[in-house]
Amino acid sequence: MRVQLMSWFLLGLIRVLTGSQARWVGCPPKAEQRIYFANHQSHADLVLIWAALPRDLRSITRPIAARDYWTKTPFKQWITTAVFHAIYVARERTADEDPLAPLCEALDQGDSVVLFPEGTRGHAQEPAAFKSGLYNLAQRYPHVVLVPTWINNVQRVMPKGEVVPVPVLCSVTFGVPLSLGADEERRPFLDRARSAVIALREI
């Protein structure tokens, strides 16, 4: 009950602060296994995508969260675990650690995931070059639908270094799914995926 009440409270708060508009321009909100890959400009990105998804998709979709940030306090750890069902990833890893292992575990369980292929938050209008994680997941899980996603304005709600959110109208746009070509190499695919995300900014 406490988790459900917190979910309702957060949904109400996020909608007051951001409007939390979901725009399904390239695919419907369908309950199938997906990898949503998006631009990344704020710690609030995972919260906004969570709020933009319909309830039946929120229950099966897990955003990634930086372990060092989201476990810094007991409350942050509780909310990302109990409410968002986040996948913790370490931004600093040992040489023999597979950075995709937590995402693969979630995908093996049948969950959908939210991925930020830049690997870290950016400050430019366009996302930085995508890292190889999305390509590797597309190879390992060819049956999972890849959905480009553009998050608009969330960096103005929670700028880097700030702790008090500012009310700003935000939206999350979901585009046409991509597929990895049979012989498509890593960099062309990642560049194509990045272009698909950027193109949603103009819609």
User: What's the pTM?
Assistant: 0.86
Fold of 2-202: Glycerol-3-phosphate (1)-acyltransferase (3.40.1130)
129: Cβ contacts below 8 Å, ≥ 6 apart: 118, 190, 191, 194
Per-residue pLDDT of the chain (203 residues; tens, 9 = 90+): 677 777 776 776 666 666 667 899 999 999 999 999 999 877 778 888 888 899 899 989 999 888 888 888 998 898 888 888 999 988 766 667 788 899 999 999 999 999 999 977 666 678 889 999 999 999 999 999 999 999 886 555 455 555 545 445 678 999 999 999 999 999 999 999 999 999 998 87
Q: Where are the domains of the chain?
A: 2-202
